[in-house]
Structure 1
Amino acid sequence: MTVQRRTLLSAAYDNLRAAVLDGSLAPGSRVTVRPLAEQLGLSPTPIKTALAALEREGFLVAVPHRGYFVPEVSTEDLLELYELREAVDGIAARRAAGATNHAQIATQLRRLLARQRKAIQANNLHSYGDLDLMFHRLIWEGSGSRRLIPIAENLIAQVRLGNRYSAQAPGRLPVAIEEHEAILEAISEGDARTAERHIRRHVREAGLALRRYLGSPDRSDRA
């Protein structure tokens, strides 16, 4: 693949992914090649390749003989994403706490936590959501795992909507802040097992808050 072709594909992919995430391409809407090619000023080839990549990553759904559609994410879909996050975050926190630079990671997390507190005081849910993602992304990056990071980045995007919902659950934010503090203290102390336990509980509690907020029935078979 030539440099120009990779650049065109990257442009198509980035634009389409952003449109799905920011709601420009609404859930349930059909995504067709020609209008997108005209809108982005690209040929159909990189558009088709980008659509196939986004379908593989779960951002689009391919319907035989009809094309691609933006998926409508159900409560169960979101809860499944939180289960996956619990596993991935647990691995990342354990590795970050065991890293040689764990104290430095904790210092960066502490700065983010201070900004999160200010966002809550200002009742700025949008800012809090962005900072929450930055907090978890820092832990994922701190894991030092090449394979974990792209999986984590994909999950970050797919749970963005769920993060906004769980943050709106009454009383959730003050609890989430305390959970973040427990996570960073464990990482600061280099306590890998405790860091994993705290972050898994944090993600699990966020999922439970989401379930309560959306009125989904509790399922005892979920860990």
Structure 2
Amino acid sequence: MAIERQTYKEQAYREIRQMLVDGELAPGSKVVVRLLSERLALSPTPIKSALAGLERDRFLVAVPHRGYFVPEVAIEDMREIYELREALDGIAARNAAGAPDAEGFVRRVLRPLYEEQRRVLDEDGGQGYSAVDVAFHRAIWHASGNARLAQILDNLGGQLRFASGSSSKVPGRVPEALDEHEAIMAAVAAGDSALAERLSRRHVRRAAEAFGGVVKTDSPTPYRPTN
């Protein structure tokens, strides 16, 4: 029974997190346990446990005596996330390049994802690019051989998408990002750990700069529950 309860909690966490990332739960809105329970066909217990976990992971805000709300993410929050991503993505790329079969990993995993990114950009006008981009980076995170690192990066990546902080929405950024992906792949395939780390850090830094360039104000957006 304990294993079953944990499974339901994990299911609730994944599905509610995806709802947040996809924008189904609007910033400032209250998260209603009953509605989520009906939507996911789960009892309130795993829903409440999942909400507590999402609050710990900064996807929700807990307001005493009022419940959980979807936060409006401040610009400064985005800067912090990108800063962490730069350092951790660099470590992941360095480790991936130092793996025994780095060249094979690029050939079997990264190259097909890269080609899919190109296809989506050329044929679909960029529709669906973000999902393939996430898969590309997630593959490197997991190839790092550091499960904790991959988990942290997945959480940070989710926060970026949840906050609409993806630089892929910046005009002209995607072609540049793809060139950077190609350079990172070449470094990983060559087993050049130092270069892979340097290129990956620069890639995230340029993404942050692109995002920052379209932000109209440096003032944080405060959390404001709407009800």
User: Could you state the TM-score of these two structures normalised by the residue count of structure 2?
Assistant: 0.88
Matches within 5 A, 1:9-88: 9-88=9-88
Matches within 5 A, 1:125-204: 125-161=126-162, 165-204=166-205
8 Å contact from structure 1 (residues 105, 138) kept in 2 = no
2:97, 2:131 → 1: CA distance?
A: 23
Matches within 5 A, 1:92-111: 92-107=92-107, 108-111=109-112
User: Could you state the TM-score of these two structures normalised by the residue count of structure 1?
Assistant: 0.89
Unmatched 5+ stretches in structure 2: 219-227
What is the Cα deviation at residue 135 of structure 1?
1.0
CA displacement 1:10-66 (0-9 Å, x = unmatched): 232223222212222111111132333344333322221111111001111111222
Q: Structure 1 residues 99 and 172, CA, compared in 2 at 3 Å: closer, same or farther?
A: same
Q: Structure 1 residues 3 and 71, CA, compared in 2 at 3 Å: closer, same or farther?
A: same
What is the percentage of aligned positions where both structures have the same residue? 51
Q: Structure 1 residues 29 and 11, CA, compared in 2 at 3 Å: closer, same or farther?
A: same
> Number of paired residues?
217
Q: Structure 1 residues 117 and 164, CA, compared in 2 at 3 Å: closer, same or farther?
A: farther
1:133, 1:201 → 2: CA distance?
A: 17
Q: Structure 1 residues 176 and 133, CA, compared in 2 at 3 Å: closer, same or farther?
A: same
CA displacement 1:76-107 (0-9 Å, x = unmatched): 22222111111110000000001101101221
8 Å contact from structure 2 (residues 22, 162) kept in 1 = no
8 Å contact from structure 1 (residues 129, 164) kept in 2 = no
CA displacement 1:169-190 (0-9 Å, x = unmatched): 2221221111111100000110
Name the aligned partner's letter for residue 135 of structure 1.
Answer: F
Name the aligned partner's letter for residue 79 of structure 2.
Answer: L
Unmatched 5+ stretches in structure 1: 218-223
1:175, 1:45 → 2: CA distance?
A: 46
Higher relative contact order, chain-length normalized (CA < 8 Å, sep 6+): 2
CA displacement 1:143-196 (0-9 Å, x = unmatched): 011221111221221122567641122221221111111100000110000000
1:104, 1:194 → 2: CA distance?
A: 18
